[in-house]
A and B are shown apart, each in its own frame.
Chain A
Amino acid sequence: MDPSSGAAPGGSAGGSPGLRIDGATLATMVAHCLGAYPEEGCGLLVGPEGSGRVVRCVPTDNVAHSAALYTVEPRAHLRADRAAEADGLAVVGVFHSHTHTDPYPSPTDVAQAPDPGWHYVLVSLRHELASVRSYRIVDGRVEEEDVTVLPDGSGGSPGSI
Chain B
Amino acid sequence: MPVEVRLPTLLRPAAGGQATLSVEGATVREVLESMGAAHPELSSQLLTDDGALHRFVNVYVDDDDVRYLDGLDTKLPGDAVVSILPAVAGGAR
Contacts and interface: CB of A to CB of B under 8 A. Distances in A.
Interface of A: 40, 42, 44, 49, 64, 66-72, 74-75, 77-78, 81, 90, 94, 96, 98-101, 105-106, 108-109, 112-115, 117
A64 B63 contact: no
B65 A108 contact: no
B12 to A, nearest CB: 12
A51 to B, nearest CB: 14
> Which secondary structure characterizes the binding site on chain B?
mixed
A49 B10 CA distance: 13
A98 B92 contact: yes
Contacts of A99: 92
Contacts of A101: 92
A40 B93 CA distance: 11
A28 B63 CA distance: 26
Interface bin, chain B: 20 to 34
A106 B92 contact: yes
A69 B65 contact: no
B63 A112 contact: no
B59 to A, nearest CB: 9
A112 B90 contact: yes
B89 A69 contact: yes
A117 B93 CA distance: 23
A71 B92 contact: no
